[in-house]
Amino acid sequence: MSQTAERFFSEDYLREAGKTSAVLFAQWLAAGQTQQAVAQLDDMRNEMQAMYYNYRGWQKRMLAVFTEREGVQKSAQVLASIETDDAPERLIDVEGIYQRWDDAFDIIRALVAEDQYDRAQQECEALHKHALAVHDGMMSRVTAILSELYRSYGDAVVMQVLREVMNPAAIDPDGKLPFKEKVEKLIFFTRLHLLPFTVVEDDEKATFMPDPCPSGARLIRDGHYEAPRNGAKVNPASALTYQQSDFPIYCCHEPAMEITSILANGVPVFVIDPSDQLGYKPCKTYVYKNNAEIPARFFERLGLEKPQDLIARG
């Protein structure tokens, strides 16, 4: 049993942390707390921009692999192959998207200042809906490009690319970030998917359990691994798939991120405990209070050994 019984978060804090900024904005308005409502808009803006920046970075790096290996014509061919009417969500218009979003936020702030709370809430909900469509379109695009990478060059290249685009150092640079700060950072990064989630704390750890996962599970449920999108499933079972067969290509970014952080710092930035029915039973994400208490099986499934000195890293 864990010897770490201290609680770092209240249940109220964690419950609110799992709500979207659009919902929290509406709550602040309903409570007449306009200053907090406007501050929530700043959080929402940061989440939307970070979401788009991250997915754009994925796409740019993955397409560069095709260019490096076969020339710019190949990357153009890949883009043409995924931008089809069969996957209309990928045909999103992102031209000048940051400015368009900023203009929308200015309108919402002006409505709040004019005490037009109902209209402000409606505009915020519309903006959230648009940002989620951008999220889903970019997520579909990177899944399709990852699938082409896997089919063209195999799982070793997929592992290499995902280790490049995923950046665990953005959460925990040296593996020594205190538990509370790591959970707060993971809350922010989970919120980039713009959908609600659940997070709870016990004596041993914090557990994030979105149901469904706002990215990987929704891709599965929405048929992205079936015709006509035909996303790749990775075989055979390996470190890249948490030792599961037929592993959805998008979900491979999680083991890649864990491997990168373990090799750099000896400890995973966080731990994913995948379900035995991906997409239909929720996966869980753990942040341990004491790194020494992370079970060895979470290292072994990645082909790694649990370091013996994790107490010093906790």
Q: What is the pLDDT of residues 106-124, one digit of tens each?
A: 999 999 999 999 999 999 9
Tell me the mean pLDDT in the region 167-182.
93
Asked, for residue 4, whether it belongs to a domain, the answer is no
Asked, for residue 300, whether it belongs to a domain, the answer is yes
Q: Checking phi first, is residue 223 left (phi over 0); if not, alpha (psi -120 to 50) or beta? A: left
Asked, for residue 63, whether it belongs to a domain, the answer is yes
pLDDT tens string 198-244: 999 999 999 999 989 999 999 999 999 999 999 999 999 999 999 99
Tell me the mean pLDDT in the region 11-17.
96
pLDDT tens string 74-84: 999 999 999 99
Asked, for residue 264, whether it belongs to a domain, the answer is yes
Give the total number of structural domains in the chain. Answer: 1
Q: Residue 309: which pLDDT band, with cuts at 50, 70 and 90? A: confident
Contact 243, 167 (CB under 8 A): no
Of 310 and 286, more confident: 286
Quick one: what percent of the chain has pLDDT higher than 70? Answer: 97
**Range with the poorest average pLDDT among 112-121, 175-184, 246-255, 305-314:** 305-314
Asked, for residue 39, whether it belongs to a domain, the answer is yes
Tell me the mean pLDDT in the region 150-171.
94
Q: Residue 311: which pLDDT band, with cuts at 50, 70 and 90? A: low
Q: Residue 102: which pLDDT band, with cuts at 50, 70 and 90? A: very high
Asked, for residue 244, whether it belongs to a domain, the answer is yes
Q: Residue 42: which pLDDT band, with cuts at 50, 70 and 90? A: very high
Asked, for residue 309, whether it belongs to a domain, the answer is yes
pLDDT recorded at residue 294:
96
Contact 258, 268 (CB under 8 A): yes
Q: Residue 2: which pLDDT band, with cuts at 50, 70 and 90? A: very low
Residue 79's domain comprises 11-313
Check pLDDT > 80 for residue 312.
Answer: no
pLDDT recorded at residue 308:
83
Asked, for residue 5, whether it belongs to a domain, the answer is no
pLDDT recorded at residue 181:
97
